[in-house]
């Protein structure tokens, strides 16, 4: 087997450098642990950037579902359907707000579907989508147009109709709505923006405003769903229902699944011929997703995220670390605001055998698998506290 350095060198030679210099070459994962090609072990408190999902790396039930389905049928195209995709959609809609599901593979694609759905539902001439400062919705041109800031540099012009307002500010949203507005797209808790939690008044006001103005409310739950924040979906913290919800990362249990969920009123807006994705909903990924949703229910992972997450946040607050200005978030979606470069903490953590992640300049993020064993969690959080103290 190649050494880590050999794989890193080959990566530099053959792989486009859009992610910058890769830091490790990974070979194995189990629960909340990862191993690199030199055999070094890491505690993963970021769940493979959310992609390893809420059940951790290579959960045996998900691995078995993938193995079984891979031996039966992997792809058949969307003239046909399959049971795993129906099972996954049933589980999502039952825990969310009913309606129907469109499948793709990633968060950005799920948001492209939501954008098209919102424009189609709103009707001719209503094309504007309101999003928020510090949001993140993806890198494809539609989703990128809805993601203000540095991500757009060099790729202009953006899609017309993207309107950006401050997060958690209802008056700003009200001011921004006009006759050309199709809808609002919001992360119910911002992830890449630094784990920002809006107020319940704001989210409930936003729901009412969208209803009153007859525009759609879409929640981007690519990071926050399912179960991560201590609810099945983060919008449930605010006792509201969106018209559209987008999912990716954890919903595939380690396999690429993106989903755009439309509430009953909008469930048939994307009618025949309006949208598509050749590999969307194919049975191997869908089986992994369905197994994930079943595991979350069977193992009470929603409650576990809520309880353990609060304990972790409190432990970091109680440690009284001088560089820590705030600890915020919900469930296992935790942001630590620090007054030193968050990236330095991330790099030092990796060298110490711990995967955590920076957001913007000054936020350190924790998003462990919800299945992480208590002793491993304690060890990992202890390491985070030590690193922050340095
Ligand atoms: N929406 C949110 C809230 C995200 O955090 C991300 C990625 N971090 C995306 C969309 C894009 O997801 P993907 O990388 O799967 O396209």
Residues 325 and 273 in one domain: no
Q: Which two tokens stand for residue 323?
A: 């560089």
The yes-or-no verdict on residue 225 having pLDDT over 90 is yes
Residues 97 and 234 in one domain: yes
The yes-or-no verdict on residue 16 having pLDDT over 90 is yes
Ligand 1 centroid to Cα of residue 41, in Å, is 27
Residues 218 and 80 in one domain: yes
Residues 312 and 291 in one domain: no
Q: Containing domain of residue 222, as a range? A: 61-298
Q: Which two tokens stand for residue 262?
A: 């439309």
User: Which residue from 108, 139, 280 has its CB within 8 A of the most atoms of ligand 1, so it is best to mutate?
Assistant: 108
Q: What is the CATH number of the domain that holds 110?
A: 3.40.640.10
The yes-or-no verdict on residue 6 having pLDDT over 90 is yes
Residues 287 and 311 in one domain: no
In a domain, 306, yes or no: yes
In a domain, 309, yes or no: yes
Residues 331 and 292 in one domain: no
Residues 191 and 289 in one domain: yes
Taking residues 42-57, what's their average pLDDT?
Answer: 95
Q: Which residues pair with 217 in a beta bridge?
A: 184
Cβ 379 vs Cβ 385: under 8 Å: no
The yes-or-no verdict on residue 312 having pLDDT over 90 is yes
- The 10s digit of each residue's pLDDT in 72-104 is 999 999 999 999 999 999 999 999 999 999 999
Please state, rounded to an integer, the average pLDDT across all residues of the chain: 98
Cα separation of 51 and 290, whole Å? 15
In a domain, 24, yes or no: no
Taking residues 33-44, what's their average pLDDT?
Answer: 98
**Residue 135: per-residue pLDDT:** 98
Nearest of 155, 180, 181, 170 to residue 203 by alpha carbon: 170
**Residue 53: per-residue pLDDT:** 85
**Residue 232: per-residue pLDDT:** 98
Ligand 1 centroid to Cα of residue 2, in Å, is 31
In a domain, 208, yes or no: yes
In a domain, 55, yes or no: no
Taking residues 219-247, what's their average pLDDT?
Answer: 98
- The 10s digit of each residue's pLDDT in 128-174 is 999 999 999 999 999 999 999 999 999 999 999 999 999 999 999 99
Nearest of 188, 210, 192, 183 to residue 135 by alpha carbon: 192
Residues 231 and 353 in one domain: no
Name all residues whose Cβ lies below 6 A of ligand 1. 106-108, 111, 136-138, 187, 191-192, 220, 222-223, 248
User: Which residue from 18, 19, 112, 138 has its CB within 8 A of the most atoms of ligand 1, so it is best to mutate?
Assistant: 138
Q: Which atom of ligand 1 is nearest to the CA of 139?
A: 16
Which residue among 278, 298, 318 closes a domain? 298
Long-range contacts of 296-303 (CB under 8 A, 24+ apart): 296/54, 296/55, 296/226, 296/227, 296/232, 296/370, 297/91, 299/371, 301/54, 301/55, 301/227, 301/370, 301/371, 302/227, 302/230, 302/231, 302/232, 303/230
DSSP 335: E
User: Which residue from 248, 285, 359, 360 has its CB within 8 A of the most atoms of ligand 1, so it is best to mutate?
Assistant: 248
In a domain, 344, yes or no: yes
Q: What residues contact 82, with CB distance under 8 A and at least 6 apart?
A: 73, 76, 281, 282, 283, 286
In a domain, 46, yes or no: no
Nearest of 212, 249, 214, 255 to residue 234 by alpha carbon: 249
Cβ 301 vs Cβ 371: under 8 Å: yes
**Residue 74: per-residue pLDDT:** 98
Helix (H) or strand (E) holding 333: strand 333-338
Residues 178 and 238 in one domain: yes
Residues 109 and 209 in one domain: yes
Which residue among 298, 327, 343 closes a domain? 298
With 0.85 as the threshold, say if the pTM is over it.
Answer: yes
* Number of domains, the chain: 2
Which residue among 246, 266, 298 closes a domain? 298
Q: Is the dihedral of CA 9, 15, 21, 22 positive or negative?
A: negative
- For 200-234, b/e burial (b = at least 16 CB within 10 A) is eebbebbbebbeebebbbbbbbbbbbbbbbbbbbb
Q: What residues contact 104, with CB distance under 8 A and at least 6 apart?
A: 110, 112, 113, 258, 259, 260, 277, 280
Q: Which two tokens stand for residue 83?
A: 């049971």
- How many separate helices (H) and strands (E) can be counted in the chain? 11, 15
Q: What residues contact 138, with CB distance under 8 A and at least 6 apart?
A: 106, 107, 108, 109, 111, 112, 144, 147, 222
Taking residues 356-380, what's their average pLDDT?
Answer: 98
Residues 210 and 321 in one domain: no
Cβ 52 vs Cβ 256: under 8 Å: no
Q: What is the CATH number of the domain that holds 349?
A: 3.90.1150.10
Cβ 146 vs Cβ 186: under 8 Å: no
In a domain, 151, yes or no: yes
**Residue 165: per-residue pLDDT:** 98
Residues 71 and 210 in one domain: yes
Cα separation of 200 and 15, whole Å? 44
């Amino acid at each position: 087997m190649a050494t880590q350095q050999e794989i890193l060198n080959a990566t530099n030679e053959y792989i486009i450098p859009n992610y910058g210099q890769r830091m490790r070459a990974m070979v194995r994962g189990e629960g909340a642990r990862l191993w690199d090609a030199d055999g070094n072990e890491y505690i993963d408190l970021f769940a493979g950037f959310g992609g390893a999902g809420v059940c951790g790396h290579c959960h045996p039930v998900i691995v078995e579902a993938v193995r079984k389905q891979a031996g039966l049928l992997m792809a058949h195209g969307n003239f046909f359907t399959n049971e795993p995709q129906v099972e996954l959609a049933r589980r999502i809609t039952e825990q969310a707000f009913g309606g129907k599901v469109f499948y793709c593979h990633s968060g950005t694609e799920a948001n492209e579907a939501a954008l098209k759905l919102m424009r189609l539902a709103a009707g001719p001439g209503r094309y504007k989508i309101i999003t928020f400062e510090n949001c993140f919705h993806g890198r494809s041109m539609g989703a990128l147009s809805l993601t203000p800031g540095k991500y757009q540099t060099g790729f202009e012009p953006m899609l017309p109709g993207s309107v950006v307002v401050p997060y958690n500010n209802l008056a700003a949203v009200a001011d921004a709505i006009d006759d050309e507005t199709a809808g609002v797209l919001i992360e119910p808790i911002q992830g890449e923006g630094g784990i920002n939690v809006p107020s319940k008044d704001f989210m409930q006001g936003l729901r009412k405003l969208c209803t009153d103005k007859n525009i759609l409310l879409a929640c981007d739950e690519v990071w926050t769903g399912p179960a991560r924040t201590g609810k099945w979906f983060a919008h449930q913290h605010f006792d509201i229902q969106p018209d559209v919800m987008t999912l990716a990362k954890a919903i595939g249990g380690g396999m690429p699944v993106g989903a755009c969920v439309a509430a009953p009123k909008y469930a048939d807006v994307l009618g025949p011929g309006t949208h598509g994705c050749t590999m969307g909903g194919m049975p191997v990924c869908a089986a992994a997703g369905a197994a994930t949703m079943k595991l979350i229910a069977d193992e009470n992972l929603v409650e576990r995220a809520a309880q353990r997450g609060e304990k972790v946040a409190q432990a970091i607050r109680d440690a009284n670390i001088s560089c820590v200005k705030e600890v915020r978030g919900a469930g296992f979606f935790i942001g630590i605001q620090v007054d030193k470069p968050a990236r330095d903490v991330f790099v030092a953590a990796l060298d110490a055998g711990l995967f955590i992640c920076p957001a913007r300049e000054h936020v350190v993020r924790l998003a462990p698998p919800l299945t992480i064993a208590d002793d491993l969690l304690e060890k990992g959080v202890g390491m985070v506290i030590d690193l922050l103290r340095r």
